[in-house]
Amino acid sequence: MSDNNEEIRELTPEEQAEEERLNEISELSKRGYQLLKENLIEDAIVCFNRILEMDDNNNYALVGLGDAARKKNRHRDAIKYYQQCLASHPGNNYALFGLADCYKALHQYSNAIDIWERYLEHDSSNVTVLTRVADAYRKVRDFRRSKEIYLKVLEMEENNPYALIGLGHLHYDFREYEEALQYWEKMLEVKQDDVDIRVLTSLGNCHRKLKTYEKGLVYFGKALEQEPNNFYALFGMADCYRGLDRHEESLEYWQRILQKDSRNKVILTRAGDSFRHLGDFDKAEEYYRRALNIEFDAYAILGLALINKARGNYREAIDSLQGLLKNDPKNHRLYTEIADCHLELGEKEKALEVLTSFQRLGIRNAYVSNMLDTLRLGR
């Protein structure tokens, strides 16, 4: 009696060995990626290397080793693994994604763009990749292409946070602060109380640049409610009060930064400026000298020169300001301050000479021009 069912053929020893090899590779691959997820990187590397001993061009193992190297911030090593994988498997999206991210981490944005564009040939609607490409175009200052891709993402996902934040940064980088505000305000509207503190400080910075300081204070204040010692929020508060000529309040925030970072020479000079505006020249001088003890700082030298000027030490002020001119010959303020010191000493001709030397540079500045006209007319 015949059996209609196809007879099951037994595997040859060679086929059985191959099947066992493939099963072992599959298990090692699963195990390796699970170990990566658990951040057990060295154990994962062992698994992937065992795979390569059995299959020296295995794409899963090569991508796994690339991912492991990337997790250890060894991006150049990771690049080699991804490139080895892509040499045999040019369409492997995981290798393309990892390779592009490595180039981004190394600030090789043009290379990253090339790889992400290759990725998009296989998956043109991947929002994560699209925002990364737009970010990279922003880094290489290709405004048009960057904006085009961010807007494409927003067509796909109306409130995509990465696209909104990216568009905010893009316009901010190109000094289009009103436009940047629109995107960051949209983020605030979407996230409300859960908004990232960086959105709040970015909104504050836009208002700082637009000199709408009162509005900036609101956002920096909200940021400080989330994180009372956030450097950018404290700096923003101080700088907004500085812009409003409210130097006592400005000084409070410079001091709060210095409590955490006492050797920040930028903040020391800003605190010195606040004391100077408040008329406390001794304290201002102390802070300027603290800054200079860290390293040379032109603003600290300028501050000390202005203190000398305020104290009537005009020759000392002129000497300091002339020294600054050597490194910053186009700074109009230095010329007007030197000219003012000469006028205080009754040296009108020298004041005219200093201001005229600035104009010979071919730079036009309203304050310098007005000062010159006033002197020439004898007013």
Enter the tokens of residue 156.
């796909």
Per-residue pLDDT at 5 exceeds 70? no
Of the candidate ranges 8-12, 223-227, 230-234, 251-255, the one whose mean pLDDT is the lowest: 8-12
User: Residue type at 136?
Assistant: A
CATH architecture of 125-194: Alpha Horseshoe (1.25)
Q: What is the DSSP string of 244-280?
A: TT-HHHHHHHHHHHHHH-TT-HHHHHHHHHHHHHTT-
**322 closest CA partner among 342, 347, 307:** 342
pLDDT for position 9: 67
CA dist 350 and 343 (Å) reads 8
**302 closest CA partner among 292, 346, 235, 356:** 292
Classify the phi-psi angles of 362: left when phi > 0, otherwise alpha if psi is within -120 to 50, otherwise beta.
left
CA dist 292 and 307 (Å) reads 15
CA dist 139 and 132 (Å) reads 11
- Measure the CA angle with vertex 362, ends 360 and 363; round to 5°: 110
Percent of the chain at pLDDT above 90? 86
Contacts of 313 (CB under 8 A, 6+ apart): none
Per-residue pLDDT at 69 exceeds 50? yes
pLDDT for position 123: 86
User: What CATH code is assigned to 27-106?
Assistant: 1.25.40.10
CA atoms within 13 A on the CB side of 47: 23
Per-residue CA distances from 228 to 217, 220, 253, 256, 301 (Å): 14, 10, 11, 10, 32
Confidence of residue 1 (pLDDT cuts 50, 70, 90): very low
Enter the tokens of residue 52.
């390569």
Confidence of residue 8 (pLDDT cuts 50, 70, 90): low
> Mean per-residue pLDDT for 340-361?
95
Task: Write the pLDDT tens digit of every residue in 40-56.
Answer: 999 999 999 999 998 88
Note the pTM of the prediction, 2 decimals.
0.82
Per-residue pLDDT at 285 exceeds 70? yes
pLDDT for position 11: 67
Per-residue pLDDT at 170 exceeds 90? yes
Per-residue pLDDT at 4 exceeds 70? no
Percent of the chain at pLDDT above 70? 96
For domain 196-261, the CATH class is mainly alpha
> Mean per-residue pLDDT for 75-93?
94
170, 148 in Cβ contact below 8 A?
no
88, 57 in Cβ contact below 8 A?
yes
In the predicted model, what is the mean pLDDT of the chain? Answer: 93
> Mean per-residue pLDDT for 305-321?
97
pLDDT for position 2: 45
- Domain positions in the chain are 27-106, 125-194, 196-261
Per-residue pLDDT at 222 exceeds 90? yes
Long-range contacts of 255-260 (CB under 8 A, 24+ apart): 256/229, 257/231, 260/229, 260/231
Q: Do the first three CATH levels of 27-106 and 125-194 match, i.e. the same topology?
A: yes
**192 closest CA partner among 201, 200, 183:** 200
Confidence of residue 127 (pLDDT cuts 50, 70, 90): very high
H or E element, residue 363: none
> Mean per-residue pLDDT for 145-155?
96
